[in-house]
Amino acid sequence: MTPAMRIPLAAPDIHESDIAAVAGVLRTPRLSLGPKLEEFERGLAEYIGVPHAVAVSSGTGALHLCIRALGIGEGDEVIVPSFAFVAVANAVRYERALPVFVDIESGTLNLDPATIEAAITPKTRAILVVHTFGCPAELAEIIRIARKHSLFVIEDACEAIGAEYDGHKVGALGDVGVLGFYPNKQITTGEGGAVVTRNPVVAALVRSLRNQGRGDSEDWFEHSHLGYNYRLSEMHAALGIEQLKRIGGILTRREAIARGYHERLSGDPHLILPPLSLPRRRIGWFVYVVRLAAHLPQDRRDWIREGMISRGIGCGRYFAPIHLQPIYQSDVYRRHELSVTECSAARTLALPFFNRMSDAQMDEVCEVLGQLLRSPG
């Protein structure tokens, strides 16, 4: 049995104002497709800096609707990083297209632009770029390659709301962007996500597809497309509105926690720490992930993780490469050289990271981690 976590890996930051907002919706007769959803979408669009935001039931649902709305389908290929949450590949498969796995940069753990062109074929339709752990990918080069080959750019910013590239919020620079609001994210709606875009046609189609393919007609039983129930309720939207009001302070606090970890762990020869800053980018911290240095045996990572958990400290393995998952073992899925992905993924440890984390909790996490790193095992 897994022990209770005294210091969890992640925790939502819920205020009394959030609770009151959700309770307020429950006192109204409108629990779906109402004014709170519209208000939340307007707030998201304004914050990201795009004309259109369409809130949906999850980040995965948002990815799926992007793929569908861009007309990507059976036989098409989408370039994706393997070092990512499995949803980025699953969403491609939902439309019977094929994910093509490429490698990542060692420094940022983001999709490596140098790997993209070798993966492009006449079947390639899009590049799905993930802003890993809230660190913006090298968008300028990725977009340049995409435009050269007439490909769509889909930004998966589910881990990166508030992150910036060249002064623009991530999600706003590609053809479409995707946000996620699961409880471990910077802000949460409980479950939820959103599609953001400058393209009114894509936005209108996504809006229809999330609601059973209904069109602009007021007839509830008229359906223009093969759609889905990917709606976000008024309660979720009300929570999102309140959370979005605080996002500036949340991002500042999470950056302070990242800096706190860096101060405590820098200089430890057993660890590779994530960059605190990068040129042209602002990191929107999702998690704090360290890697074991090359001189430590690879299996040491799981031993340390188990040691942390046994002491009641949450610890994660972010991410298990998608191309090594059982459902992606088939030769149907093309993959290019993935040595950085495989080497990095085997050595990553996600440390506890949440808005209300105290200095004392950070001290304990780092002390226990240091003890385990120095232990003979």
DSSP string, 98-126: EEEEE-B-TTT-SB-GGGHHHH--TTEEE
- Using alpha carbons only, give the angle 107, 112, 102 rounded to the nearest 5 degrees: 125
Active site residue 185: yes
CA dist., res. 254 & res. 257, Å (int): 5
Cβ neighbours for 126, distance < 8 A, ≥ 6 positions apart = 67, 70, 72, 76, 78, 79, 146, 151, 152, 153, 154
Residue 168, strand partner residues: 165
Could you tell me if 205 and 176 are in contact, meaning their C-beta atoms sit under 8 angstroms apart? no
Residue 116: CB atoms within 10 A of its CB come to 23
Could you tell me if 81 and 88 are in contact, meaning their C-beta atoms sit under 8 angstroms apart? yes
Report residue 197: phi and psi, to 5°: -165, 160
CA dist., res. 187 & res. 193, Å (int): 11
CA dist., res. 105 & res. 196, Å (int): 26
Choice among 36, 123, 169, 185 that is catalytic? 185
Q: Cis omega (within 30 of 0) on the bond before 319?
A: yes
User: Active-site residues: which are they?
Assistant: 185
